[in-house]
Amino acid sequence: TESGWSPPPKCVRVRGCVFNYVENGISPSSSRKYVQDQSIKVQCYPGYSLPNKENTIVCTESGWSPPPKCIPVNSVGKCGSPPPIDNGDITSFPLPEYAQHSLVEYQCQSLYQLQGNKKITCRNGEWSEPPKCLNPCVISEEIMERHNIMFKSIGKQKLYVPSGTMVEFKCKHGYVQATSKPFHTTCYDGKLEFPTCRS
């Protein structure tokens, strides 16, 4: 055009895919190397299929999609056991296999705070992203003694605080604030910023 190339020329990194064979199937393709966006036709053996019952695989930036592997027809779309999470578990009895679109729900152990979606779904043989259980914060008398602080509310010596909970401190009698850290502080995944007081 008058103002130059439209759209402007751009070089992109082209990654290749190597094709060796189809597991539980065959392909008429004779080449071994392919560039991004090229596809190959695949024929699965009787009783086998590619995921989603497709008959082609495509070379993508991260490799073949779907992988050159035919799976038994009765297991297409099914998922194995849900992924385990630290300090939490699913609310139902785990099964060795789950049908497409199955849902499972997670819960965290006491004092651990769930972050993310508590329900995950089986889609095309893969589970969606499981949640995470955030660690509580431990506030002990030793830690407060080190910082010369105490709870604003009287009578607590050791406290387990769930993630996301706000805690309020004050200086011990005869001490003044030594840092700019606020006396209202919030626990996040086991971490808490403690203010410090000095005599």
Domain borders along the chain are: 16-73, 77-133, 137-198
> Which of the listed ranges 24-38, 67-81, 116-130 does the model predict with the highest average pLDDT?
116-130
Q: Which two tokens stand for residue 188?
A: 């996040």
Compare 158 and 97 and report the one with higher pLDDT: 97
pLDDT confidence tier of residue 54, bands split at 50, 70 and 90: confident
Average pLDDT score over residue span 46-67: 85
Residue type, 96: P
Average pLDDT score over residue span 149-163: 80
Rg (alpha carbons) of the chain, rounded to whole number: 28
Which CATH topology does 137-198 take?
Answer: Complement Module; domain 1 (2.10.70)
Instruction: Report the CATH number of the 16-73 domain.
Output: 2.10.70.10
Task: Classify the C-alpha dihedral 150-151-152-153 as positive or negative.
Answer: negative
Q: Return d(Cα 133, Cα 129) in angstroms, integer.
A: 13
Q: Return d(Cα 37, Cα 17) in angstroms, integer.
A: 10
The number of residues making up the chain comes to 199
Residue 4 pLDDT more than 80?
no
Q: Return d(Cα 188, Cα 192) in angstroms, integer.
A: 7
pLDDT-above-90 percentage for the chain: 46
Which CATH topology does 77-133 take?
Answer: Complement Module; domain 1 (2.10.70)
